[in-house]
């Protein structure tokens, strides 16, 4: 299947390591993987202008890097959201990319979703996980897995192996 990974981190660090481990496993299993570095993109928040639902016919009035993410929402069979925790939430960049999906309602083909989260402290994940689960359900995607890495788990061989195995089994 075609898997789009939306990496919400603005830097190459712990989240990128999780993304790479996932991509390795998924490719080994024969899946096509597209990594979108959303955290490095310029994506503004939704303006709630409703242009997309009127004259725009599904197109956003804002011309920014969301144009690079939209094809993934349209073509992917599975979407993986990956993010460091910033103040108990996914990054602002990834949140903006998720909220801008409003223009098309939901991904056109994707029926599966997964979440990769990285943090410094032991368990700041609850609110990001709750938002992800509700968004996936609303968007018609089944949650097939959530993997978190906290503190020393980041970059550890055990955690990277867990992620690789998870992706390989998809
Ligand atoms: C602005 C900011 C806010 C953060 N907020 C939290 C937090 O609420 N809880 C936490 O455990 N770690 C927090 N962190 C730490 C990151 O989640 C952690 O270092 C993560 O591994 C970074 O991933 P990255 O290497 O992909 O950037 C924060 C870091 C930054 C820069």
* CB-based contacts of 152, cutoff 8 Å, min separation 6: none
Q: What angle do CA 168, 18, 137 make, to 5 degrees?
A: 75
Identify which of 82, 88, 120 to mutate to test ligand 1's pocket (most ligand atoms within 8 A of the CB). Answer: 120
Structural domain count of the chain: 1
Question: What is the number of the ligand 1 atom nearest to the C-alpha of 119?
Answer: 17
CATH value at residue 155: 3.40.50.360
Q: What is the C-alpha separation between 167 and 100, in angstroms, rounded?
A: 27
* Gap from CA of 30 to ligand 1 centroid (Å): 32
User: Would you state the pLDDT for residue 162?
Assistant: 98
- pTM score, whole prediction: 0.98
Size of the chain, expressed as the number of residues it contains: 170
Task: Please give the full DSSP string across 30-99, using - where no structure is assigned.
Answer: T-EEEEE-GGGS--PPP----STTTTTTT--S--STHHHHHHHHHH-SEEEEEEE-BTTB--HHHHHHHH
Residues with beta carbon inside 6 Å of ligand 1? 9, 11, 13-16, 84-88, 118-121, 124, 154
pLDDT digits 0-9 by tens, 99-140: 999 999 999 999 999 999 999 999 999 999 999 999 999 999
pLDDT digits 0-9 by tens, 79-104: 999 999 999 999 999 999 999 999 99
Q: Quick one: 122 exposed, middle or buried, by C-beta within 10 A (0-12, 13-18, 19+)?
A: exposed
Range of the domain at 109: 2-168
* Gap from CA of 121 to ligand 1 centroid (Å): 8
In contact, 150 and 116? CB cutoff 8 Å: no
């Amino acid at each position: 299947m075609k898997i789009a990974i939306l990496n919400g981190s603005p830097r190459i660090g712990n989240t990128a390591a999780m993304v790479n481990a996932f991509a390795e496993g998924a490719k080994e299993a024969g899946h096509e993987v597209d990594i979108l570095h959303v955290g490095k993109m310029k994506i503004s928040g939704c303006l709630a202008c409703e242009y997309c639902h009127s004259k725009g016919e599904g197109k956003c009035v804002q011309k920014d890097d969301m144009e690079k993410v939209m094809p993934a929402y349209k073509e992917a069979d599975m979407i993986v959201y990956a993010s460091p925790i910033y103040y108990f939430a996914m990054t602002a960049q990834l949140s903006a990319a998720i909220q801008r999906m409003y223009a098309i309602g939901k991904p056109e083909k994707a029926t599966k979703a997964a979440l990769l989260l990285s943090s410094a402290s032991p368990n700041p994940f609850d609110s990001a996980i709750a938002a992800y689960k509700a968004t996936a359900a609303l968007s018609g995607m089944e949650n097939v897995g959530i993997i978190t890495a906290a503190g020393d788990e980041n970059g550890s061989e055990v955690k990277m192996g867990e992620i690789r195995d998870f992706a390989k089994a998809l």
